[in-house]
Structure 1
Amino acid sequence: FGIRAAKSDISRGELNIDGYKAVTQQLADTFAFKYVAITLRESFSASYNGWSALLYDGEKYYQSKRYDISPIVDRVGGGDSFGAGLIHSLLENKDPQSAVDFAVGASCLKHTILGDFNLVTTDEVGLLLKGNTSGRVQR
């Protein structure tokens, strides 16, 4: 859409949250979107990124928890996993904060899986959201 966040340089891992908030508001105002979501990637290296997101509902901003992802196994599908997690949460009538948290958690876990499909379960995302970042497979 040609809208850029002010004072941000994603190639150096520098994100200006206020700049991204302005982008979400401009998109919502221009296109009458009910929700606008933006993922926030801090690219420290090809295998190490910070990962979070913003969700705007036309009135309020919701910022997810930030995760350090290292090592990244595969970035392909990370954005799709975020979108799917957000849609899933909103269809389940989750509040906006819970929805953006779930979406980021699902996407974060996808970065640890080779290929473009997210193979994690909602329970596994729930464990991450509760603080289980041990990396142990619990199936």
Structure 2
Amino acid sequence: MSVSSIRSARKFRQTALLIDDQSTVLDIHAAILKSLKMDLKIIKMTDPVEALEWMQNKQVDLIITDFRMHQMDGMQFVQAIKSACNVLGHSIIVVTAIKDQTIHQELIAAGAAACLTKPAQTQELASIAKILLEKSRDHYNSTLLETT
């Protein structure tokens, strides 16, 4: 059975991976995603290195990550995802307390889909997450159509 046919099955749930070293932020971001009512599988992790290892054998539809983390910063994390994992389907939102637009633009250039300033506005984060999840779902649905 192919990944595409599994992903298009009625019971398939998209996966969102949240990475932040503050558990409160993880809980807030998880609550925002749950409010979308998209039946997501939400994985919360505090260690970006563990998250990269976990992702190697998983298909992740959305990643919301902090910028300032102990083991590596958001830029290193985005670059590691792009080089180590299946790039297709990864939609990355970086959330940072840094208000420097140059850093935001560098993160986008490195492969992040969006860069939001902490605390992320609920409506903005929900809206971007929903768009990225729908794009991921549509990508796999179109892939399935091409292979059938």
TM over 0.5: no
- Higher relative helix content: 2
Give the structure-2-normalised TM-score.
0.29
Give the structure-1-normalised TM-score.
0.30
